[in-house]
Amino acid sequence: MEEIDLLVKGWYVVTMNATRDIIRDGAVAVRGNEIVAVGKAADLEERFRAARTVGGDRFVVTPGLVNTHIHITGEPLTRGYVPDDTPFEENVFMWLCPLYAVHTAEEERLSGQLAAVEMLKSGTTTFLEAGTIRFLDEVVDGLDEVGIRGRVGRWVWDLPPEPDVYKQDTDQAIAFLQHQLEDFGSVADGRLGAWSTLVGHTTCSDPLWRAARELATEHGTGMSFHMSPAKLDPEGFVAEFGQRPMIHLAELGVLGPDVAITHCVQIDDQELAVMAETGVHVAHCPTTALKVSYGITQVGKMPEMVMAGINVGIGTDGNNASNYSDLMRATYLVAGLFKDARQDPQMFPAERAFEMATLGGAETMQMGDEIGSLEVGKKADLVLHDTERPEWRPLLNVMNQLVWSADGRGVHTVVCDGRVLVEDGAMTTVDEAALYAAAQRAGEAITTRSGLPDKSKFPIY
Ligand SMILES: [Zn+2]
């Protein structure tokens, strides 16, 4: 018999392979951080001697989910402090920027860990960071300890308005990017690494856009930024350049198949065509669109993007716009929003939504041959969903129930890069009680330091 490190068994194994096979009474064999076999549990048990076996006949096994846009600093420790009736510009400039600015290095490290723990415990094993506010060294160190897979980057911008604490001119912004790509190109055996990460919107000069593009190409990484959640971005680009954002960025040579753009709600048909032509990926953040009133159900073109061949992944964004980082809940919204908006049940069927949360995310991350499905040769990133829960029973249609019934609460065990990071619903790498207590202390300290008022509306006594 062949020796393996881990055998993962399930009632159903949702492989997300090319033919989308779901294996009843299936198993996945893992050696080191790699999947070496996928098949019927009985066959694999005959073939392999496993040092450890997890799972069993009450679990649905899926690939780890991929969150293509999440703010792991700035937001997690201020979660929910920004009132939900705040207009977009006030939300960003009067609330978020001041809250981001008062974090210490230790708080950013803690913030990254809290975000990673929330993701892992709800089934996400890989994420693309929106941008670390300031302290990338500490954040990477904290993530390494937790064990999640991800791509990070201190975000840069060189145009006002921005708080003094992270004001940068163009040369400084380019230097930050250069350093992070050199220093964090590949960390923890490639589990973590840096991207060319910009804030986006109207915060970057043309020289910064070009430099960020060149650095991504030079270092063979991806590039990510926000664009056009609201009308502010297209109006700003038209006023400045006489062109809408995607057209301008395409002319600058920024767009390409290694670019992940977040939101893309307020885009026109010409921009959509350019996005399809250049092969960019879109991070669709449904919760933010709902909470910050982007109008995604009225003007969003996600169905048209998919029809045009644009890869659309799913993100949860920041915890003041999306107060949770549970990608299963975001996937549920992706499946539902356009069914209602277009009065068409064919929009984003459960299977399609789950593809976006796994394979689509993997493509966005430039990791299509490494993650996103359970196949031989891919990294061992797996999630075991516990069906001994009310929302999972009776289990009669796995894909429908994964998207429409279940959420991250049912996640029981998570394997990332071959390591069991969540076991029976609890983290194996960090002391959760200590983490949550530290997060509470930090959240109270940060909001106090910001000087921003507590806007809770109901009296508390
Ligand atoms: Zn964002």
Clarify whether residues 234 and 360 are in a common domain. yes
In the prediction, which pLDDT does 223 show? 97
What is the average pLDDT value for the chain, to the nearest integer?
Answer: 96
- Helix, strand, coil content of the chain in percent (nearest 5): 40, 25, 35
Q: What is the pLDDT of residue 91?
A: 87
Q: What is the mean pLDDT of residues 389-405?
A: 98
Question: Is the pLDDT assigned to residue 161 strictly greater than 80?
Answer: no
- On whether both 58 and 93 belong to a single domain, the answer is no
User: Is the same domain home to 297 and 344?
Assistant: yes
Domain-located, residue 432: no
Q: Which two tokens stand for residue 343?
A: 């009065």
Residue 27 in domain: yes
Q: What residues form DSSP beta bridges with 260?
A: 224, 281
Report if residue 440 sits inside a domain. no
In whole angstroms, give the CA distance from residue 410 to residue 41.
Answer: 22
Structural domains of the chain, count: 2
Distance 69 CA to ligand 1 centre (A): 6
State the distance from the centre of ligand 1 to the C-alpha of 78, rounded, in angstroms.
15
Q: Do 99 and 8 share a structural domain?
A: no
Per the structure block, which two tokens stand in for 220? Answer: 């063979």
For residue 88, the model assigns a pLDDT of: 83
Which CATH number fits the domain that encloses residue 30? 2.30.40.10
Are residues 13 and 137 part of one domain?
Answer: no
Q: How far is the CA of 316 from the centre of ligand 1 (A)?
A: 8
Q: pTM value?
A: 0.98
CA gap 284, 68 in Å, rounded: 8
Ligand 1 centroid–CA 301 distance in Å is 19
Residues 190 and 167 in one domain: yes
Ligand 1 centroid, distance to 64 Cα (angstroms): 22
Is the domain of 309 the same as that of 378? no
For 47, the domain range is 2-63+373-427
| Average pLDDT estimate for 195-199 | 95
Helices (H), 198-326: 206-219, 232-241, 245-252, 269-278, 286-291, 296-299, 302-307
Question: For position 89, what pLDDT does the model report?
Answer: 83
Q: Assign residue 256 the CATH number of its domain.
A: 3.20.20.140
pLDDT digits (tens, 9 = 90+) for 311-345: 999 999 999 999 999 999 999 999 999 999 999 99
pLDDT digits (tens, 9 = 90+) for 39-58: 999 999 999 999 999 999 99
Residue 391 CA to ligand 1 center (angstroms) comes to 31
Task: Please check whether residue 200 lies inside any domain of the structure.
Answer: yes
The pLDDT of residue 163 is 66
